[in-house]
Amino acid sequence: MNLVFLGPPGAGKGTHAEILSKEKRLVHLAAGDILRRNVKEGTELGNQAKSIMARGELVPDALVNDMMFAEIRSLKAKGSEGFILDGYPRTIGQAEELDRFLTREKMSLTAAVNFDASEAVVIERLSGRRICAVDGKIYHVRNMPPKTEGICDCHGQPLLTRKDDQPETIKTRLAVYHESTKPLIDFYFRKGILRHVAADGDAPSVQKMLEKLFENTR
C-alpha cells in the first residue's frame, strides 16, 4: 500500500507515519527529514534548501520532485511493500508530477490521508516540539515529554528546537500551507482516494482511527 499524508505542519503526520509504517511494514519517506539530512551533510540540494527552509517557505518543486523520485525508485529496487509519503506532495505541481512519475513506474497511490487539525492545536504542538539531534525523534514538552526534561531517551543528548519552529516562522509555514498545500485535499478528493482523520486528539486516539482506516488494507 502506498499512502500520502496531508495536513498542516504540526498535524501529526510524522509521528503517525512512523508508527503506521512499522505496523504495516511500509517505508516512511518524510520530505522535511530528507531535506534536513541534505542540509546537515552539506549536499548541493541541502545548500540550496537551507535558507528557504529556515524561513518556512517551500523548496522549489523541481528539486523536491527529483529528491523524492530517487527515494521511491530505490524502494522499488529493494522490493519494499509500500511507502508513506509525509510532507510530499505539498503543491498541486508536485502532486501532478508525482502522478506522472508513479504511472511511468507502474505504481499508484492507495489513499491520501488528510490530518484535520485546528490552527490552535497546531501552533501549540509546533511551539512545544523538540527533536533528538541524533535521529530526529520527536518529543513535545507537554504531550510527549522525554523521561528527563530536555534530554533524548535513546541517546542521552540535549533535545533541540527546530529553527523553523520559532513563532514567526510557524506563521509563515501555516500561511504557505493554506495557500499551496490545502488545495491538495480537493485534488485527492476528485481522484476518489481521500480519507480523513480527526487529528486534534492525543496521539493514541489518532493512531487508533488511522489503524481502523487501514485494518483490512495491505
User: Is 173 among the catalytic positions?
Assistant: yes
131: which 3 cell numbers?
Answer: 527533536
Site for ligand ADP in 61-80 (CB under 6 A): 64
Residue 59 lies near ligand ADP (rule: CB under 6 A): yes
Residue 31 lies near ligand ADP (rule: CB under 6 A): yes
User: Is 162 among the catalytic positions?
Assistant: yes
User: Is 129 among the catalytic positions?
Assistant: yes
Burial class for 204, CB neighbours closer than 10 Å (0-12, 13-18, 19+): exposed
How many residues in the shown chain lie near ligand ADP by CB under 6 A?
19
Length in residues, the chain: 218
Q: Of residues 6, 27, 58, 111, which one binds ligand ADP by CB under 6 A?
A: 58
Find, among 60, 44, 42, 36, the residue nearest to 163 by Cα.
Answer: 36
Minimal distance in Å, beta carbon 82 to ligand ADP?
A: 19
Strands 83-86 and 2-6: parallel
Question: Which residues, in sequence order, are bridge partners of residue 195?
Answer: 113
User: Is 37 among the catalytic positions?
Assistant: no
User: Is 13 among the catalytic positions?
Assistant: yes
135: which 3 cell numbers?
Answer: 535521529
Site for ligand ADP in 83-112 (CB under 6 A): 87-90, 94
